[in-house]
Structure 1
Amino acid sequence: MNKAITEGVVLMPPVFAEGLDVWSSGDGTPGSDTYDGAVNAAFVSADQDFAGCLELQKTETTQQLRHMGKTPLIPGCYLQITVRIKALSGALPTVRIAGWAGKSGGHVGGLSETAAAVTLSSYGEVVELRAIVGSGDRGGVDMVWGMAAEYGYFGIDLTGANGGVVRIDDIEITDVTSIFLRDMLSQVDVRDYGARGDGVTDDSAAFAAADADADGRRLFVPAGSYYLAETVTLEAEVAFEGTVSMPADKMLLLTKSFDLPHYIAAFGNEELGFKKAFQALLNNADHESLDMGGRKVTVTAPIDMQAAVPNKSSYSTRRVIRNGQLEASAGAGWSTDVVTSKATYSLSSSKTLSNVTNVANVSVGALVEGVGVGREVYVTDKRNGAQEITLSAPLYDAVGTQTFTFRDFKYMLDFSGFTNLSKFSLSDVEVQCEGLCSGLRLAATGVAFHLRDCFISRPKDRGVTSIGTGCQGMLIDRCQFLSDENAEDVADRSSIALNANANDVKLRNNRAEKFRHFAVLAGSNSVVTGNHFFQGDGVSDGVRTGGLVLTASYCSSTLTSNYVDNCFIEWTNEHDSTPDFVSGFSFSALSIADNIFLSGDVAPWFSYIVIKPHGSGHYLNGVNVTGNMFRSINGTIDRAERVDTSFADLDFTRFKNVTFAGNTYHAVSSQVMNPLRVRHKESSTAKTWTVEAGGELPFEARARGVDGIVALDAVKTGSGDTVHDLPYVELEQGARGDMVKLVWSEAVKGEVAVSLRIDT
């Protein structure tokens, strides 16, 4: 605002040299007396202090001087009246700035129309008086007139003894609204507290002082680069026009403006703003979550989440990152590091590689590949001096020395630097890997990592990776995993949506498309429910890979209400260091219930449930497969279930407590059940009847029990006599042991229903 002109309105009164006919000796209203021709007033053209000025002798008890022009009062506008005056002779008067408040219709009563008075104390001394008039009751306003007054007549009053002569310089009225702008905007400027914004000077103290004085107002950081050498906590809401910089180990804690957009504004960079916001999240007790505000952050290299918080190596308080998007941008930082090293594996220390050459170059978190190494085995720790590496799981057939390959995939968000990270969540976040990088790598240990309502889009190698037990109790709910290998044939895919090594994982209501595997779960007590994972391609009679891979023989898990689409459930023990069965429960405690299994245009030998023992002697012990729907389209498959004998077969003589019932089959040749009800008709008399399962016992197992035999019509001898006694049973007959023999007391014929079992 111009000092003399506000919104086109001239505020400044005319100078005395232009005439005294507009200067009233009364209240300034039209018709009041003026000083034009008055005997006690005269214009003095030359004065050593004032140049042109008004010389006035006090003759009234209250000698008034008012400009007769209406000075408008605009709501929110503050005017300053400035008067310079000196005494020449006679009695020394008291001086005050004064006014008359008006509106359409007349005077506005009840307002303070005078400012503080000053008594002149010597002759020739120039005294300057200032007073402010305005609508608001703000500090420094002398005459608060509110919204009632629309204009005013301003000037001065002389009080005290009469007879004194004074000279008065031209009166100034200026707009000083700017000095109240900070209060009007409820804003505190850090520059007012010494902040330089030159990028070099430490402005930490200035920021802290401004924040301490804000008292509910907003803190304003104007244009500039502000260096903060120390941790700064700002309790006030903050608006950033300029940016800040600070050492990596110092924190900016925005307690009232804690969201990602404010941190991006503060640091002027999306990626750095995200890191510093995460740093604050783990160091601020006032906030449990970081709201990304719907912002998309372009990420140019892997974000080491622990390095972003150098004062924390572990963290176990609930924290959430929510509501945003992270997008990878092309750069050299995403390249996978590949190291090959000779190492020795021994059963005496089943999670250790020893005598590792080049161990310093092997990264913690790298995938381990080699002969006898199961899927998703990672480097959890290493000791360079001892040349040892700790593995996330044992190796099933790697005893001795060989060359291993270590692949260190690069992840958008890498938490592996934390020794422990528990109760951490990502919610409503999309991780757009763009085929350049992997998604998330978890800490070595931790409990209850939670991913909910998130998208992991187009990861190059892995979506979510657990390198140790940071997946204990992991929850993944309502997430989508979108592959970067959509166009690849199944056999050419290598990416995996997620893996877990620890127990108690919950995968619920997720969707994953066209990975090599949806999930590789190495622990037990998992709940997998409501997920849809599909992995097909356009190859006729094509191969399929496991959608869900369980690598613990005793898995104690439930797989319920999933949609298993063009892939299968694979159950192995590839993370056993001694894969041959010696003791324990073997393949046990698994329930597969009420799922949809669908395949299309697959090879006939494809199956939906595949058990793959890596050692001899294993058997089924407590397995429930019920209420599932198995359907093949564009071709019939042989079976819904099978044993992959690449390494070993199951021991069918030891099956216990297996239920395979209530399932439906479409375009599946062998529609298996356990117990299996078989109708057998013997047309000619025979003492021994051979009852065949017809390939419809699960896993082509042995007929180890008979629950019942029911005659469907009269069992008769050759002479037509009815036989009422029961036969005894000889189990596990035939080359595969899938037949039973019913031995009667004499040769008979007839029809029976026999309930066969593969277990005891």
Structure 2
Amino acid sequence: MNKAITDGIVFMPPAFVKGLGVWSSGNGTPGSDTYAGSGNAAFVPADADFGGCLEIQKVSATQKLRYMGQTPLLPGCYLQIKARIKAVSGPLPSVRIAGWAGGAGEAHVAGLTEQGKAVALTSYGTVFEVTAIVGTGYRDGVDMPWGNAALYGHFGLNLEGPNGGVVRIDDLEIADVTGVFLRDMIGVVDVRDYGARGDGVADDWAAFEAADSAAGGRRVLVPAGTYFLGETTSMNSEIEFEGTVTMPTDKMLLLTKNFDLPTYISAFGDEALAFRKAFQALLNNSDHESLDMGGRKVSVHGPIDMQAAVPNRTSYATRRVIRNGQLDVQDNPAWNTNTYSSQATYAPNNPYRLTGVANIANIPVGALVQGVGVGREVYVEARNVGAAEITLSAPLCGVAGTQSFTFVDFKYLLDFKGFSSLQKFGLEDIEFQCNNRCSAIRLAPSGSTFSLRSCFVSRPKDRGITSIGSGCQGMLIDGCQFLSSEDDLPVPQRTSVALNANANDVKLRHNRATRFRHFAVLGGGNSMVLGNHFFQGDEVPNGTRSAGLVVIGTYSSTTIADNYIDNCHVEWTNERDPSPNFVSGFSFSAMSITDNIFLSGEVAPWFSYVVVRPYGAGHFLNGVTVTGNKFRSINGYIDRAERIDTTFAGLDFNRFVNVVFEGNTYHGVTAKCANPLRVRHSQMTAAQAWIVDPNGELPFGARARGCDSVVVLDPLRTGGEAIRYATPYVQLQQGSRQDQVRLNWPEAVKGTVSVIMRIDK
């Protein structure tokens, strides 16, 4: 680029033959003395070396020569001032190119370098060439970097050294040499041309903003160097980083045309820092709804506090997504789990509070709570240090009074707990490579519709996704893989959990999870678990199996359908009821388990696929559907597909209502349960009372509380083989287990009947 050619700008001062009235012996500013009519200068029309030239006798300590015209200094334009000079007589001086920097209002711009390197004249009659380059940018080869404040200059030269010498000076030349510095000015704006220093100290914010404003559709170049940006910097042009930037945590770099993680990595040099700054921009820039990681692998050496990365936001409710990359956890003590113990008091009438918490300042929000009566996946949702109170994510079960609690603070790759609320936030196509060093994601205490789509949560040390409050409301987990770090451990030694939720309306769809302690612990209602494959077996013969899916809460209104539930079971429990005994309500109700594949191998015979685990007396099933499932045990039979875990309490069989347990298939399962259950009974000897036994095939070992029909399949005959046409009356809940029915005939008969009995009314 050459402004003299492209824009017709005249940089060259007039030749001396045009007159000396425009050549100043001062700074060149209006009103300064000129060499016209001065006693120590004259125009020489015919010099052997120069032709016409200016002859000056040095009479001042610094003899100045300045063109009084204003030579413009434009951003991105670099000028070379050149003079040819020779000594004629007297003491030999030194000479250097010099200038006077003029700014707005024709004021002098102080603090700039206004002269080039000195050249000593060492002989008479020898022509010496003196040059210097002036420009806005601070770059190698620029003798006088003037930045953006200087708008023009009065250029010439200085004679220094002893007085009395006489020199002759050829016409000064000023030429545009921008092309020497810029590899390709077409489509590129260099921030150094707008005053950026790149020394890591000077604030280059204004230069970046100015370059962006001037780009006009061109690309902004950030050359090698370290550029400190002291303010939030918004770049609306495409930008290319050869150098890096630094800026305070609370200041943002908003790259609207290159909003992707690779560009931020180029900008900041550090991958984890770049990820935080890009996330900061994502939550503060309305121009983009998502951050593309560009397929980059980001090495992470410590937990990423997502809220601390965005100090101006404590909550967020606009849809934002991070996608397409990998976060790879590196070994570092920062991942170490911290454990705290403290005494606190719990009262069932204040079910979400621990009060009188000792050393509460040491207990972090988001810590897992352990203690007597504490169910699975109960966390510290909030704390009030002044009141010594902790808010729990869920109530405790059946305890009251003061006890010692343990608080376990897992470390998470992405930690959102610092937000009070986070809504409509998503992560897509990301691998969280935890490497058995940390957990993956901790959600904000509140918020709705967090989503995880097509992600890999690989080898989390303790947890995959943790909800410490209601930040899981409406959570969507779709098409993800959760890969355990505990594959080689026997089931009883595993402790990791792929995910948990406390709030309602969770959707888990088409995910795959391997050998965790639990795939999911769901504490809310109205959830949908659809099309997932989770398996938790081991190589131990007749081994125990843990629950793959734990549903906590009596009225669950949860659908579990089309899953592949492999070497684990569905557990339904009320372990978060402060007063676990049934008093009122619906009890264990509104659960639907349909069209799933249940498979187990080499398990203990008492293993079952559907387990109800009540924590208090008086509970019952009320509106439960188990249909269309495929139950199969290989390498050994199991007793039954469903059971009640009576560790703490049983169920009240006399209160079962609307239980549908039918259309299931059984292979390798002894008791093929159904409700209603059809039993074919053959009475070989005539009797007036027949006992019809379900052979343990009523679901959950419940009682025969109803009989839908008794159908005689062949002629009823007396002991003497006479045919009788009779109808029995039915007595329910017979036998020691109350699971039999008695058919009472008008007289002793024998024959075969089909009886449909049920466990509900």
TM-score, reference length from structure 1? 0.78
Alignment partner, residue 339 of structure 1:
340
Q: Check conservation: 2:474, 2:503, Cα contact below 8 A.
A: yes
Name the amino acid aligned to 1:462: R
1:469 is paired with a residue whose SS is coil
2: CA distance, partners of 1:668 / 1:611: 18
Alignment partner, residue 656 of structure 1:
657
Alignment partner, residue 701 of structure 1:
702
CA drift of 1:718 comes to 2.7
TM alignment of 1:77-116, pairs within 5 A: none
2: CA distance, partners of 1:324 / 1:290: 10
Alignment partner, residue 448 of structure 1:
449
Aligned: 1:354 with 2:377: no
Q: Check conservation: 1:373, 1:397, Cα contact below 8 A.
A: no
Q: CA 1:299–1:508 in structure 2 vs 1: closer, same or farther (change >3 Å)?
A: same
Instruction: Write the deviation string for residues 573-594 of structure 1: whole angstroms up to 9, x where unpaired.
Output: 0011111111111111111111
Aligned: 1:725 with 2:726: yes
2: CA distance, partners of 1:685 / 1:720: 9
Q: Check conservation: 1:182, 1:188, Cα contact below 8 A.
A: no
Q: Check conservation: 1:726, 1:744, Cα contact below 8 A.
A: yes
Alignment partner, residue 88 of structure 1:
none
Name the amino acid aligned to 1:529: L
Alignment partner, residue 681 of structure 2:
680
Alignment partner, residue 402 of structure 2:
401
TM alignment of 1:231-270, pairs within 5 A: 231-270=232-271
Alignment partner, residue 420 of structure 1:
421
Q: Check conservation: 1:298, 1:327, Cα contact below 8 A.
A: yes
Alignment partner, residue 196 of structure 1:
197
CA drift of 1:176 comes to 5.7
2: CA distance, partners of 1:528 / 1:187: 53
Alignment partner, residue 542 of structure 1:
543
Q: Check conservation: 1:336, 1:409, Cα contact below 8 A.
A: yes
2: CA distance, partners of 1:579 / 1:710: 43
Alignment partner, residue 741 of structure 1:
742
2: CA distance, partners of 1:331 / 1:727: 77
Q: Check conservation: 1:659, 1:675, Cα contact below 8 A.
A: yes
2: CA distance, partners of 1:576 / 1:371: 13
Instruction: Write the deviation string for residues 84-114 of structure 1: whole angstroms up to 9, x where unpaired.
Output: 9xxxxxxxxxxxxxxxxxxxxxxxxxxxxxx
TM alignment of 1:71-220, pairs within 5 A: 178=179, 181=182, 184-220=185-221
CA drift of 1:715 comes to 1.1
2:650 is paired with a residue whose SS is coil
Q: CA 1:170–1:399 in structure 2 vs 1: closer, same or farther (change >3 Å)?
A: closer
Q: Between Structure 1 and Structure 2, how many residues are aligned?
A: 611
Alignment partner, residue 630 of structure 1:
631
CA drift of 1:746 comes to 1.4
Name the amino acid aligned to 2:615: H
CA drift of 1:686 comes to 1.1
Instruction: Write the deviation string for residues 265-301 of structure 1: whole angstroms up to 9, x where unpaired.
Output: 1111001000000000000000000000000111111
Q: Check conservation: 2:348, 2:399, Cα contact below 8 A.
A: no
Name the amino acid aligned to 2:374: V
CA drift of 1:716 comes to 2.1
2: CA distance, partners of 1:272 / 1:170: 55
1: CA distance, partners of 2:531 / 2:545: 21
Name the amino acid aligned to 1:347: P
Q: Check conservation: 2:474, 2:504, Cα contact below 8 A.
A: yes
Name the amino acid aligned to 1:372: G
CA drift of 1:175 comes to 10
2: CA distance, partners of 1:83 / 1:388: 81
Of 172-181 and 305-314, the range deviating more from structure 2 = 172-181
2: CA distance, partners of 1:302 / 1:180: 43
2: CA distance, partners of 1:171 / 1:273: 50
Alignment partner, residue 114 of structure 2:
none
Alignment partner, residue 572 of structure 2:
571
Instruction: Write the deviation string for residues 674-721 of structure 1: whole angstroms up to 9, x where unpaired.
Output: 111101111111111110010011111101101111000011223333
Name the amino acid aligned to 2:257: K
Q: Check conservation: 1:413, 1:440, Cα contact below 8 A.
A: yes
CA RMSD of aligned residues (A): 2.5
Alignment partner, residue 288 of structure 2:
287
Name the amino acid aligned to 1:443: A
Aligned: 1:375 with 2:376: yes
2: CA distance, partners of 1:273 / 1:482: 27
1: CA distance, partners of 2:418 / 2:172: 71
Q: Check conservation: 1:503, 1:524, Cα contact below 8 A.
A: yes
Q: Check conservation: 2:462, 2:495, Cα contact below 8 A.
A: yes
CA drift of 1:414 comes to 0.2
Q: CA 1:652–1:519 in structure 2 vs 1: closer, same or farther (change >3 Å)?
A: same
Name the amino acid aligned to 2:47: D
Alignment partner, residue 4 of structure 2:
none
Q: Check conservation: 1:445, 1:468, Cα contact below 8 A.
A: yes
Alignment partner, residue 89 of structure 2:
none
Alignment partner, residue 753 of structure 1:
754
Instruction: Write the deviation string for residues 331-390 of structure 1: whole angstroms up to 9, x where unpaired.
Output: 111111100000111011011001110111000000000011100000001111111100
CA drift of 1:177 comes to 7.5
TM alignment of 1:538-617, pairs within 5 A: 538-617=539-618
Name the amino acid aligned to 1:590: M
Q: Check conservation: 1:532, 1:563, Cα contact below 8 A.
A: yes
2: CA distance, partners of 1:589 / 1:624: 8
Name the amino acid aligned to 1:262: T
CA drift of 1:185 comes to 3.5
Name the amino acid aligned to 1:369: Q
Alignment partner, residue 39 of structure 1:
none
CA drift of 1:519 comes to 0.2
1:446 is paired with a residue whose SS is coil
Alignment partner, residue 50 of structure 2:
50
1: CA distance, partners of 2:641 / 2:323: 41
Alignment partner, residue 103 of structure 1:
none
Instruction: Write the deviation string for residues 468-495 of structure 1: whole angstroms up to 9, x where unpaired.
Output: 0000000000000000111111010000
2: CA distance, partners of 1:184 / 1:228: 24
Q: Check conservation: 1:371, 1:397, Cα contact below 8 A.
A: no
2: CA distance, partners of 1:737 / 1:264: 71
Instruction: Write the deviation string for residues 289-341 of structure 1: whole angstroms up to 9, x where unpaired.
Output: 00000001111110000000000000000000000000111111111110000
1: CA distance, partners of 2:597 / 2:731: 37
Alignment partner, residue 389 of structure 1:
390
Q: Check conservation: 1:442, 1:467, Cα contact below 8 A.
A: yes
**Percent pairwise identity:** 65
Q: Which ranges of 4 or more aligned residues in structure 1 deviate by more than 6 Å?
A: 169-175
CA drift of 1:50 comes to 1.3
Instruction: Write the deviation string for residues 396-444 of structure 1: whole angstroms up to 9, x where unpaired.
Output: 1221111000001000000011000000000000011000000000000
CA drift of 1:51 comes to 5.9
1:192 is paired with a residue whose SS is helix
Q: CA 1:202–1:181 in structure 2 vs 1: closer, same or farther (change >3 Å)?
A: closer
Name the amino acid aligned to 1:629: K
Alignment partner, residue 667 of structure 2:
666
CA drift of 1:179 comes to 6.6
CA drift of 1:745 comes to 1.4
1:343 is paired with a residue whose SS is strand
1: CA distance, partners of 2:275 / 2:175: 47
CA drift of 1:184 comes to 4.1
| Structure 2: stretches of 5+ with no match in the other structure | 2-43, 54-79, 85-169
1: CA distance, partners of 2:425 / 2:234: 24
Name the amino acid aligned to 1:233: S
2: CA distance, partners of 1:708 / 1:49: 129
2: CA distance, partners of 1:607 / 1:295: 44
